[in-house]
Amino acid sequence: MLHVNTRFVCLVMLLVGAVQAWAQLPPVAKHSQSRLRPAGSPIQSGPMLGYSDMREVMLWVQTKKASRVQIRYVEQGTKEPVRLTPEVATSPASANVAHLVASDVVPGKRYTYEVLINGKQVNVPYATTFQTQSLWQFRTDPPNFTFAVGSCTYVNEQPYDRPGTPYGDSYGIFTSIHAKKPDFMLWTGDNTYTREVDWNSRTGVLKRYTHTRSLPEMQPLLASTHNYAIWDDHDYGPDDSDRSYWMKPVTLEAFKLFWANPNYIFNEGCAGTFTWSDCQFFLLDDRTFRAPDKQPDGGVAGPEKAYFGTRQIDWLIDALRFSKATFKFIVTGGQIINPTAAFENYAIYGTERTQLLNRIADAKIPGILFITGDRHHSIIHKLDRPGTYPLYDVTISPLTSGPAKPTADELTQPTVVKGTLLTERNFATMNVSGPSTDRLLTIRAYDSTGKEKWVQSLKANDLR
């Protein structure tokens, strides 16, 4: 009996030690022990859906080593014809990333797809579907749709994190977003957090992007929801980084490798645009052309302290004038409408901010509102304007980074929409619905578990 009890005690001690070791692991290490795909899978991260249009869809996969990658797809509910994307070879030189174009598609359809690596189908244990946008113009009312919004995704990696309480948490938020079944996800900056070990080398940048994208909880969302992104300081470079950042060509390369936006307006930076149904999204870059935060403002002499910069603002105003979209969403990292000159709000670039708002007013462009992130809390600001409609700024943040509160001064601003402040990890969905003559935008904010926290609605006819 003594011999049996001794073995039992040893077993208990081993189990206790294992539990203690498990508890000490950073959250991402714990999750990596129970990945959603088999341990021997040749896929490092993805598949991910990029942009969707009527005649093509971009898909994305990252492999663990150099491989040949292809996507096989078929219209949902049918067995043939089966289509194949052209095969793409991945390479360690480009982080083993493949961008694959599904071009044998027709508008307004949903497709199921499979990933082939080196000619063999890879098991992906969750739904893999994509959709094409509908050809509705001159035929029907615009299709209703829903998109998700979020910013600030920190994924822990203990050896390279700052000491103390892990900054990232609540990775299940991506499961909650996936459960809402949005048509696409809009990632509004700080989508990964480069750290001291990363931002001085191409190797470090690519490792950080790979580490964040490999989060297990993220994979089902990526595989069946289309994704569009901008960057802010942390996925561009160091905290509060500006146009002086020495490695910005490298982080731009990484951004283009790991996201699949449909276009880039300039040779540098991430600015671009896309449409979905009757809405247009203007993806702005608030880092590449930005003067240092501490540089004095130009005052009445002109916008010497650049934020977006003259070239980007000129393009934006031209594109807004040209657009026939019902809602015109201007998407950028930092808050635009909040008048508090604090942190990295546009208000500390007051001359250029005034210029942009005046040019929008002078152009008499209907349907404009802003979507922003960065602040690690969510809130809506509303700027009433004499003689025209108000401008809204919907800030949604953070996804998995540490939450933060606004300053007391910010909460006394007349622009604050009461009841919209959230100081916990959260995301939002935005639904556009109704006939073409009476479109409605419904914004719903959720906590990390998917519980609704507030809802706000805006009529397109009130933004004219």
- What's the CATH number where 117 sits? 2.60.40.380
Pairwise CA distance, residues 289 & 239, whole Å: 16
Per-position DSSP letters for 219-247, written without gaps between them: HHHHHHSEEEEE--HHHHSSTT--TT-TT
Look-up: residue for tokens 């991260």? 45
| Spacing of C-alpha 448 from chain mean position | 16
Are residues 125 and 257 located together in one domain of the fold? no
CATH of the domain at 216: 3.60.21.70
Residue-by-residue pLDDT tens, the chain, 464 positions:
333 343 433 333 433 343 343 333 333 434 443 456 677 999 999 999 999 999 999 999 999 999 999 999 999 999 999 999 999 999 999 999 999 999 999 999 999 999 999 999 999 999 999 999 999 999 999 999 999 999 999 999 999 999 999 999 999 999 999 999 999 999 999 999 999 999 999 999 999 999 999 999 999 999 999 999 999 999 999 999 999 999 999 999 999 999 999 999 999 999 999 999 999 999 999 999 999 999 999 765 556 799 999 999 999 999 999 999 999 999 999 999 999 998 999 999 999 999 999 999 999 999 999 999 999 999 999 999 999 999 999 999 999 999 999 999 999 999 999 999 999 999 999 999 999 999 999 999 999 999 999 999 999 999 99
Total-model pTM = 0.92
Q: Residue 1 has which token pair?
A: 């009996």
Enclosing domain of residue 418: 145-462
The verdict on residue 420 lying in a domain is yes
How buried is 316 (Cβ within 10 angstroms: 0-12 exposed, 13-18 middle, 19+ buried)?
buried
Are residues 122 and 154 located together in one domain of the fold? no
Are residues 63 and 198 located together in one domain of the fold? no
| Helix (H), strand (E) at residue 227 | strand 226-230
Sign of CA dihedral 72, 73, 74, 76: positive
